[in-house]
């Protein structure tokens, strides 16, 4: 708890940022080991960051890893981290503070359930062009981003690779290698029509028929007054002989040359950059988020250059807690279900007893009425035919 308050700095850029608390949540594998930092207020922005010894990832892998648990059944909110240079003013960190990398899950409704991988290159943020699905259940999940010095990358969820590729292919950081030759133009005699009108095809002489004709079965009403109503005209109906616009049949074009392809040339503005992956003075890890429904727990943050170490650390933390955590959650759900069933049974029992009491009171009232008005035929009720019948 002391490390949490001493290590992490809350931004003062806004006066109403959401409050964080240290918690393992409602279900966990280990009550102490699974304590993480948790969002605690609905519909708030959050801004928290931690400083570490600055370094450069030049010539070696960069691994960003952490766990996220949306135990609140998150409806809309971020679960990602941002990696900043060490000169970030932590007390003024906000949504527009320039970062190096943004990585992690983002959920909003049914349409947005993705893992962000945003890379800052020459002051511009570039979103990955691939759609990476994130986990949307209530359990803890491990997110890992590996950036290699050969400018390839890998995204892992729960220590399993879910996406990989290269900076050049999956981000638009550099201009295109090839562009359309601005000097090239389609030749004026280039024929790209696959089919043409058959010149020997002619329209039949009886083709042209009107689209509508007067209804031959229509008759002028007997009370039609031409002086008052004007000249009577039969209503128009669709002409069954109308064939529409005539078009000659199509034949293969003997001069067809195919689709003209615009030739490409090397883009003079393209220059290969082998250092897109490299960041100097990496020194701050930040959580800069908006959440509608709070309760997300972040834990097990790791920034390293050792891919194997990250995998092992994931196994020692998330790997050990995932089984017991799920077991505890299932047990809680079973207990809640049983309590609901017991409450339902108790309610039904009370309703039934209430009905019995009502019936008993009704019966007593009927007996009282009989006592007040004695009758020779007491206890016997007659049906409509005057015949006695048993009381129900």
Determine if residue 82 is labeled as part of a ligand binding site.
Answer: yes
* Backbone torsions φ then ψ of 247, nearest 5 degrees: -130, 135
Determine if residue 223 is labeled as part of a ligand binding site.
Answer: no
Determine if residue 208 is labeled as part of a ligand binding site.
Answer: no
Cα–Cα nearest to 79, from 64, 92, 68, 95: 68
Strand pairing report for 140-147 and 62-70 = antiparallel
Determine if residue 80 is labeled as part of a ligand binding site.
Answer: yes
Q: Rounded to whole angstroms, how far apart are CA atoms 102 and 325?
A: 28
CA 257 to chain centre: 46
CA 236 to chain centre: 55
Q: Rounded to whole angstroms, how far apart are CA atoms 261 and 6?
A: 63
Determine if residue 288 is labeled as part of a ligand binding site.
Answer: yes
Binding residues, as ranges, are 80, 82, 99, 106, 288
Binding residues for an alpha-D-glucoside, as ranges, are 80, 82, 99, 106, 288
């Amino acid at each position: 708890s002391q490390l949490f308050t001493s290590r992490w700095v809350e931004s003062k850029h806004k006066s109403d940022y959401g409050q964080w608390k240290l918690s393992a949540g409602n279900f966990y594998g280990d009550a102490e080991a699974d304590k993480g930092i948790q969002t605690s207020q609905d519909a708030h922005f959050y801004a928290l960051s931690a400083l570490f010894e600055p370094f450069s990832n030049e010539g070696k892998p960069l691994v960003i890893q952490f766990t996220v648990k949306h135990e609140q059944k998150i409806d809309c909110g971020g679960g990602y981290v941002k990696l900043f240079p060490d000169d970030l003013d932590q007390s003024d960190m906000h949504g527009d503070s320039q970062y190096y990398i943004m990585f992690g899950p983002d959920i909003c409704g049914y349409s947005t359930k993705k893992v962000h991988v945003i890379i800052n290159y020459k002051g511009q943020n570039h979103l990955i062009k691939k759609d990476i699905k994130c986990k949307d259940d209530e359990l803890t999940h491990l997110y890992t981003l590996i950036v290699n010095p050969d400018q390839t990358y890998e995204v892992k969820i729960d220590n399993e690779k879910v996406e990989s590729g290269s900076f050049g292919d999956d981000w638009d950081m550099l201009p295109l290698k090839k562009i359309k030759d601005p000097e090239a133009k389609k030749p004026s005699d280039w024929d790209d029509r696959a089919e043409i009108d058959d010149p020997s095809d002619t329209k039949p002489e009886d083709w042209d028929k009107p689209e509508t004709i007067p209804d031959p079965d229509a008759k002028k009403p007997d009370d039609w007054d031409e002086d008052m109503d004007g000249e009577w005209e039969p209503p128009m109906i669709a002409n069954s002989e109308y064939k529409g616009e005539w078009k000659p049949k199509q034949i293969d074009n003997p001069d067809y040359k195919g689709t003209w392809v615009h030739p490409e040339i090397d883009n003079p503005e393209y220059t290969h950059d082998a250092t897109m992956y490299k960041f100097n003075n990496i020194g701050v890890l930040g959580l800069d988020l908006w959440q509608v429904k709070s309760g997300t727990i972040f834990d097990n943050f790791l920034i390293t250059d050792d891919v194997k170490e990250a995998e092992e650390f994931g196994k020692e933390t998330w790997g050990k807690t995932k089984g017991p955590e799920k077991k505890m959650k299932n047990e809680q759900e079973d207990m809640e279900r049983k309590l609901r069933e017991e409450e339902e049974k108790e309610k039904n029992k009370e309703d039934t007893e209430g009905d019995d009491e009502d019936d008993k009171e009704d019966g007593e009232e009927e007996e009282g009425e009989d006592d007040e008005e004695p009758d020779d035929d007491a206890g016997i009720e007659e049906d409509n035919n005057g015949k006695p019948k048993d009381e129900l």
